Amino acid sequence: MATQHSRSAARLMVMPAVIVLFLWMIVPLGMTLYFSFMDYRPMRGVFDCCVGFDNYARFMSSGSFWDAVSVTLAMVGGILAVTVVGGVALSLLLDRPMWGQGMVRILVIAPFFVMPTVSALVWKNMFMNPVNGLFAHLWKFFGAQPVDWLSQAPLFSIIFIVSWQWLPFATLILFTAIQSLDSEQLEAAEMDGAPARSRFIYIILPHLSRAITVVILIETIFLLSIFAEIFVTTGGAFGTRTLTYLIFQRVIESQNIGLGSAGGIFAVILANIIALFLMRIVGKSLDS
């Protein structure tokens, strides 16, 4: 059992790292909050202090604000649906014995290590290009008209690209959870005559509930800030402008750091609300 002296020594040793991490987070957040109350346009030489909540009112009153919020939530929801359902299916498949199982597992996880910008460029130019892309050649082979995915189905295309990146992460977490399942339960259910569907619904899926909630929590926090894939593929056009991309455009187009900072605070508030909501769900799942 740890003594009071050892606990104090542990806190003392951890404190420098905690202080550095705290400053690493609080300084940028504090500067963003400070600039959000200012009319700060450095390229035009404007530095008007204390404009109050004008930047927040301008950002929220913009017709693009709620559209960007709805697109962000729709994109995150679509990606979560694909990665969770696909992750469960792939983890069940990888749990079965097969030839070259180790290599297959590595190949399934590999896309997670590809940088978002590189991934978006590959999908845009090699697969979804309406002239020279692989999908265009497949469509022509079957006698169909090629589809310009990024202009005709832009939201679906970005969801597909980002899901391809995050599917390995969900698969890895869920596969680890499946491997921790007691095989005797499945064997007993199989001996009792339970079909595969019932074993999945009543044994495997409840066992995966905690892992699924963790996947949803972690992915949501990161997916709320999707930017690189949109920047590389559609540039925010065709109804793919998320809240993060809207903030970027406001700063670039108006050169108004204060307006962009107000949007950044909105994004932080939205991310924290969703994170707290998901944390409650995760906490209830872990307590059950």
288 residues of the chain, pLDDT tens digit each: 456 767 777 778 888 888 888 888 888 888 888 888 887 777 666 777 777 788 888 888 877 888 888 898 899 999 999 999 999 988 888 877 777 667 777 777 778 788 888 888 888 888 888 888 888 888 888 888 888 888 888 899 999 999 998 998 898 888 888 888 777 777 777 777 777 777 777 877 888 888 888 888 888 888 888 888 898 888 888 888 888 888 888 777 777 888 888 888 888 888 888 878 777 776 665 555
Cα separation, 186 vs 200, in Å, equals 9
CA angle 176, 215, 232 (to 5 degrees): 115
How many CB atoms lie under 10 A from the CB of residue 56?
A: 19
Cα separation, 171 vs 109, in Å, equals 8
* Start-to-end Cα distance in the chain: 28
Which token pair is 11?
């806190």
Report whether 210 contacts 288 (CB < 8 A). Answer: no
Q: Max Cα separation, the chain?
A: 78
H-helix or E-strand spanning residue 209: helix 205-223
> Chain-centre distance of CA 131, in angstroms?
30
Q: What integer pLDDT is reported at residue 288 of this predicted model?
A: 58
H-helix or E-strand spanning residue 46: strand 46-48
Structure-token match 């799942």, residue found: 285
pTM for this predicted structure: 0.82
Report whether 241 contacts 249 (CB < 8 A). Answer: yes
